[in-house]
Structure 1
Amino acid sequence: MSRPLAVFDIDGTLVDSRASIHRAACEAARDLGLPEPDYDRVRQIVGLTLEHGMAVLEPDLGPADLARFIAGFRASFGRMFDAGHEEPLYPEAMTTLRRLHRDGWRLALATGQNRRGVARNLAREGWADMFISSHCAEDGPGKPDPAMLHAAMAACDADPATTIMIGDTTHDVRMAVNAGVLPLGVAWGFHTVEEQRAAGARHVAQSFAELTVVLDGFDAHTRAA
């Protein structure tokens, strides 16, 4: 019997991109002569498609200025990566992924990043071998639409009863709820524990060790069903 499917978000769940995303938003705002947004505003849009998120961040911008705002955000990230910046993995993220892969879990990614960002992460050592499939906002509707999870289940031969979504935002939680899969939050990313629970998270793990315990319980439950 195949192990369940664990679908992971990237930003705020596996990769600590908090500083770089805030920096890019601030630089894009400065380029337009706008006040720099504080971190609390920026963290709320992480997980949405870039176009949607930037429109939420600055809702009064017209189409031309919104396009410049989006381009400025992308340009800021381009400068960071051209200068050799690499967003760090959270401690124990790689150990957890390797353990799940070793134990036969099916693994996939579902992220608000574009395909270029996904490719950059899949170039990390060992990632391409661990994840069966990856799904991003450029593939179709973004979070909280369930499209990415439907695609992941199809690619990994799984169904909602054997699939769990692991993310750090309410957008991840709502996507899971909309797809009928178990929503599992993590406490170290962009949205608070309370925000994720209010959105429908069944559990919010405080550490990767706790995350592993919850995943083991889900595995045991699906095998017993």
Structure 2
Amino acid sequence: MIFDLDDTLVHSDAVREAFWVVARAYEIDRARLTRTLDGLPGRLAWEVFVALGLSNTRAKAATKHFLAVLDELNTVAPPVAYPDADTTLRELAAHGAQLMLSTGSSTERAKRVLDHEGWDAFTVVLGSDGQCSKGDAHYDRIAQQTPDREWTHHAVTVGDSPQDMRLGAEHGVPVRIGIDRDGNPQTLFAAGATHVVSALAEVVSIVASIQIAA
């Protein structure tokens, strides 16, 4: 099971604040940034900066700046786990699910969050940096770490963004569960979600029903 982190397992005000710090450095006004973030929920930082008009090279530099700022802000405003996250992860692990994390944040930040919450069941933790960012690169990295060439055929992806759903569909993941945090499930379905839930805890019953059907 491939989980996203921010706005899936934890909520963090630091993410938007980090975007604002970097946008200000590039003379992008807050209203424009807000419109872009609202219009591109869950997109990778690089995609957001490109949508804001930065060239590929400048967007790459802005993304690096964003990740550094986010790490700093987390010491002041650490992410908060959703109430049902801990129980959900522990139930899935207890039933034999292999948990993986794929996030647009840095690997260091992701590991700090997991350590803080005591979520030690994740066997793979992939963050984003200049060499490997969330997206196709993460799927390629997972493929390198498993002998099963058809591992995606047995996978489940869980995330809050259309990007998470699209990635799963493009890589042949049959079960793509969208967490609706914005009150607009159709956006997730349109991006390829096979299920959309309003609470993380609902994932457990979906996975259980799939296992029974198999």
State the TM-score, normalized to the length of structure 1.
Answer: 0.78
- Asked if 1 retains the 8 angstrom alpha-carbon contact of 2:159 and 2:177, the reply is yes
- Asked if 2 retains the 8 angstrom alpha-carbon contact of 1:47 and 1:111, the reply is no
Spell out structure 1 runs of 4+ moving beyond 6 A: none
- Asked if 2 retains the 8 angstrom alpha-carbon contact of 1:45 and 1:54, the reply is no
- 5+ long unaligned stretches in structure 1: 1-5
- Asked if 2 retains the 8 angstrom alpha-carbon contact of 1:46 and 1:112, the reply is no
CA 78–131 in structure 1, closer or farther in 2 if over 3 Å, else same:
closer
1:110 to 84, 102, 122: 102
CA 62–193 in structure 1, closer or farther in 2 if over 3 Å, else same:
same
- How many Å apart are 1:71 and its aligned residue? 5.4
CA 97–157 in structure 1, closer or farther in 2 if over 3 Å, else same:
farther
Identify the residue that residue 3 of structure 1 maps to in structure 2: none
1:210 to 202, 206, 210: 202
* Separation (CA, whole Å) in 2 of partners of 1:214 and 1:63: 39
- Asked if 2 retains the 8 angstrom alpha-carbon contact of 1:11 and 1:47, the reply is no
Identify the residue that residue 46 of structure 1 maps to in structure 2: 42
**Per-residue Cα deviation, 1:20-78 (whole angstroms, up to 9, x for no partner):** 22222222222333211454522415342x3333222x11x357764664455345424
* Separation (CA, whole Å) in 2 of partners of 1:82 and 1:165: 29
**Per-residue Cα deviation, 1:136-166 (whole angstroms, up to 9, x for no partner):** 33363532x2x42354366466623321011
Identify the residue that residue 14 of structure 1 maps to in structure 2: 9
Matched, 1:187 2:180: yes
1:24 to 18, 22, 32: 18
* Separation (CA, whole Å) in 2 of partners of 1:41 and 1:80: 21
CA 40–183 in structure 1, closer or farther in 2 if over 3 Å, else same:
farther
Identify the residue that residue 152 of structure 1 maps to in structure 2: 142
- 5+ long unaligned stretches in structure 2: none
- How many Å apart are 1:135 and its aligned residue? 2.1
CA 179–80 in structure 1, closer or farther in 2 if over 3 Å, else same:
same
* Separation (CA, whole Å) in 2 of partners of 1:53 and 1:112: 12
Mean alpha-carbon deviation: is it higher for 149-158 or for 104-113? Answer: 149-158
Which AA in structure 2 matches 1:114? S
- Asked if 1 retains the 8 angstrom alpha-carbon contact of 2:93 and 2:99, the reply is yes
State the TM-score, normalized to the length of structure 2.
Answer: 0.82
Identify the residue that residue 178 of structure 1 maps to in structure 2: 170
CA 150–67 in structure 1, closer or farther in 2 if over 3 Å, else same:
closer
